[in-house]
C-alpha cells in the first residue's frame, strides 16, 4: 500500500531546509583591527598600562581598555559565543585559539609619523596591524604543526580556521582628529580619498591572506564627544549639540568609505563585506540619551574638567595649590561618555545591541550571518 504524504509535509520540510541553509556562520575566531574603540590591551602592553578606575565596572581591575568595562568588540565576541580577544602585543596570559586583537589606542589608517608621547598617535597604523597579522598567521601555523605540548597547542589558532574567521575593522576616528589638528577643512577633504585608498589596500592584503568575512565599522560622530564640544564655541554646534564641521567631515569620510566597500564587493567576489553604520547608531543614542536612561551627552563620568583646568581620568594634578584626583562618577551606567573621548560600558552595550542585529548594516544581515 502506497502512503500518501500530505502536501503540508513538503512545505514544512522545505522551510526546515531553508532554515538550515541560512543558519549562523559559526565563526571560530575574530581578528580585529582598529583604534582605542576596540583596543583590548594593545597600546597598554606596548607603552604605559591603563590605570584605575579604567576597568572598574566589569573587570574590577585594569584590563587594557580605555573604558570602565567592556567595549563594543567585547560584546560582539560574547554574542558570537567567543572569548574576549587577547591583544596581539600582550605577552602574558594571551590565548589566541579564537582570534587576536591588533587594535591599539591612537591608531590611524594613514601613518601620521608622530610620536605617541606627543599627540597620543599610535605607531601601529592599519598597514602595520595588517603586517602584524600576516606575521602572526605564519608563525602560529608553523608553531601549531611543530608543537608537541597539547596545552600550548590549545592556545594557538587552528590553521584551517583562518579563512572561516570574522575580520572586524573599526578605525578612522584618529585620522579625523589628526586632520582637524594639522589641516584646514579643505585640505582634509582632499586627503580623504588617500586615506580610503589605504583602507582599501589593507582589506585587499587581508583578503590575500585568506580573509573572507569582513565586518567594517564606519567612524562615529566625533563632533559629539565631550572634549570636542567643550573646546568649541556654541555657534558651531548642530541641533544635537555636536560640533557640526567635525561631524560633517565624519559623514563625508563615511560616504567615501561605504562607496569603497561597495567597490571591493565587486572586486573580491567571493568575500563578504558588511558595512556597519556605527555613526548612526551612536548618534541615535546621543540624540535620545535621556529616553534611554542616560545623562545628557556632554556629561563625563571620569576626569576633572573645570574651565581651562583638565585632569584626565585616573590622574592627579595640582590646581590652585590643591591636588586634584580625577576619579570616576558614582554610577557609570548612567553616562554615555567615560572620559570625554571614550564611551562607557553601558553605552558600548547599547550600541552593540543595535548593530549585531543588522539594522544598521549594509547589507542588513546580523553579525551571526556575516559570512558569504
CATH number, residue 131? 3.40.50.1110
Dihedral pair phi/psi, residue 26, rounded to 5°: 65, 50
What distance in Å separates the CA atoms of residue 37 and residue 354, rounded to the nearest whole number? Answer: 16
In this predicted structure, the answer to whether residue 21 has a pLDDT above a threshold of 80 is no
* Residue 285 in domain: yes
Stated as kind and residue range, the H or E segment containing 99 is strand 99-101
User: Is the Cβ–Cβ distance between 30 and 63 less than 8 Å?
Assistant: no
pLDDT single digits (tens) 82-141: 999 999 999 898 999 999 999 999 999 999 989 899 899 999 999 999 999 999 999 999
* Residue 231 in domain: yes
pLDDT band at 72 (very low <50, low <70, confident <90, very high): very high
The better pLDDT of the pair 187, 113 is held by 187
The parent domain of residue 202 ranges over 27-294+342-369
* Residue 322 in domain: no
pLDDT value at residue 356 = 98
* Residue 334 in domain: no
Greatest Cα-to-Cα distance within the chain, rounded to the nearest angstrom: 100
Catalytic positions: 36, 339, 342
pLDDT value at residue 62 = 97
* Residue 8 in domain: no
* Residue 333 in domain: no
* Residue 80 in domain: yes
Query: For 56-84, what is the HEC assignment?
Result: CCCCCCCCCCCCCCCCHHHHHHHHCCCCC
> For the chain, what is the domain count?
1
* Residue 99 in domain: yes
Amino acid at each position: 500500500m502506497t502512503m500518501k504524504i500530505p502536501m503540508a509535509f513538503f512545505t514544512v520540510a522545505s522551510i526546515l531546509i531553508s532554515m538550515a541553509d541560512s543558519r549562523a556562520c559559526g565563526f571560530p575566531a575574530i581578528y580585529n583591527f582598529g583604534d582605542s574603540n576596540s583596543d583590548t590591551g594593545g597600546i597598554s602592553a606596548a607603552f604605559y598600562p591603563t590605570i584605575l578606575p579604567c576597568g572598574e565596572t566589569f573587570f574590577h581591575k585594569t584590563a587594557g581598555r580605555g573604558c570602565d568595562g567592556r567595549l563594543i568588540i567585547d560584546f560582539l565576541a560574547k554574542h558570537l559565543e567567543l572569548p574576549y580577544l587577547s591583544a596581539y602585543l600582550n605577552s602574558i596570559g594571551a590565548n589566541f585559539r579564537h582570534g587576536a586583537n591588533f587594535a591599539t589606542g591612537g591608531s590611524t589608517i594613514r601613518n601620521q609619523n608622530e610620536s605617541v608621547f606627543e599627540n597620543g598617535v599610535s605607531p601601529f597604523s592599519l598597514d602595520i596591524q595588517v603586517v602584524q597579522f600576516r606575521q602572526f598567521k605564519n608563525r602560529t601555523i608553523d608553531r601549531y604543526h611543530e608543537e608537541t605540548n597539547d596545552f600550548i597547542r590549545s592556545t594557538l589558532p587552528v590553521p584551517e580556521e583562518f579563512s572561516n574567521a570574522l575580520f572586524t575593522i573599526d578605525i578612522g576616528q584618529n585620522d579625523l582628529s589628526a586632520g582637524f589638528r594639522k589641516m584646514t577643512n579643505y585640505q582634509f577633504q582632499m586627503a580623504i580619498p588617500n586615506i580610503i585608498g589605504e583602507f582599501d589596500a589593507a582589506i585587499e592584503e587581508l583578503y590575500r591572506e585568506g580573509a573572507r568575512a569582513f565586518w567594517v565599522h564606519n567612524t562615529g560622530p566625533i563632533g559629539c564627544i565631550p572634549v570636542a564640544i567643550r573646546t568649541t564655541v556654541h555657534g558651531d554646534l548642530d541641533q544635537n549639540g555636536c560640533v557640526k564641521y567635525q561631524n560633517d567631515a565624519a559623514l563625508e569620510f563615511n560616504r567615501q568609505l561605504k562607496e569603497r566597500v561597495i567597490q571591493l564587493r565587486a572586486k573580491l567576489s567571493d568575500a563578504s563585506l558588511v558595512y556597519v553604520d556605527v555613526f548612526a547608531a551612536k548618534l541615535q543614542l546621543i540624540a535620545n540619551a535621556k529616553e534611554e536612561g542616560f545623562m545628557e551627552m556632554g556629561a563625563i563620568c571620569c576626569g576633572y574638567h573645570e574651565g581651562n583646568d583638565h585632569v584626565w581620568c585616573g590622574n592627579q594634578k595640582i590646581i590652585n595649590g590643591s591636588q586634584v584626583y580625577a576619579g570616576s562618577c558614582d554610577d557609570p551606567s548612567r553616562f554615555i561618555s567615560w572620559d570625554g573621548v571614550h564611551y562607557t560600558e553601558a553605552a558600548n552595550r547599547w550600541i552593540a545591541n543595535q548593530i549585531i542585529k543588522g539594522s544598521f548594516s549594509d547589507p542588513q544581515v546580523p553579525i551571526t550571518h556575516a559570512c558569504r
